[in-house]
């Protein structure tokens, strides 16, 4: 623990700006790694089997960025709740907008999956922040 109490935890303004920057980075990572139109597509022309447009590499890249941001915010003294919200909410909001702007012609499970995916997008960064907090050595 530092001797100077002002060095123990960053100022509230700095934590807020860091949280906003993490939110922007999370949204940017989603925009770069996940396709905007999440509707399932035919695996081959004329086929009846569907496939998702989300690649494994894109998903893993987004997950890595979100986990790194969670660790960073935790180390900077941002609480786990705010870390989960700052990192997960932009991803959830962009996913919802994508679902609402690209409605499927037939039944599709992506819109139904939005709520569980949102819970994961918010809770996993919060848990990572709890596990990587400076007091949990």
Q: What is the pLDDT of residue 95?
A: 87
Can you give the residue ranges of every domain in the chain?
Answer: 17-131
Residues 93-128: tens digit of each pLDDT: 988 888 878 776 666 676 678 899 999 999 999 999
The pTM assigned to this predicted structure is 0.78
Q: What is the pLDDT of residue 55?
A: 81
User: Where is pLDDT greater, at 90 or 108?
Assistant: 90
CA 31 to mean position of chain CA atoms: 11
Query: Model confidence at 54, in pLDDT bands (50, 70, 90)?
Result: confident
What CA–CA distance (Å, rounded) separates 4 from 89? Answer: 34
Q: What is the pLDDT of residue 34?
A: 82
Rounded to the nearest 10°, the torsion over CA 22, 28, 29, 30 is 110
Q: What are the residue ranges of helices labelled H in the chain?
A: 12-33, 56-75, 80-101, 110-131
Mean pLDDT check: name the lowest of 12-16, 17-21, 23-27, 85-89.
12-16
Q: What is the pLDDT of residue 137?
A: 60
Query: Model confidence at 10, in pLDDT bands (50, 70, 90)?
Result: low
Q: What is the pLDDT of residue 41?
A: 66
For helices 80-101 and 110-131, give the axis angle rounded to 10 degrees: 160
């Amino acid at each position: 623990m530092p001797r100077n109490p002002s060095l123990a935890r960053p100022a509230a303004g700095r934590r807020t700006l860091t949280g906003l920057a993490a939110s922007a980075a999370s949204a940017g990572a989603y925009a770069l790694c996940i396709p905007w139109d999440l509707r399932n597509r035919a695996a081959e022309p004329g086929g009846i089997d569907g496939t998702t447009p989300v690649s494994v590499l894109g998903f893993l890249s987004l997950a890595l960025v979100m986990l790194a941001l969670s660790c960073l915010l935790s180390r900077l003294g941002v609480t786990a709740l705010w870390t989960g919200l700052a990192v997960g909410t932009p991803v959830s909001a962009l996913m919802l907008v994508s679902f609402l702007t690209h409605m499927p012609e037939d039944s599709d499970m992506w819109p139904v999956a939005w709520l569980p995916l949102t819970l994961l997008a918010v809770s996993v960064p919060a848990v990572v922040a709890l596990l990587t907090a400076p007091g949990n050595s």
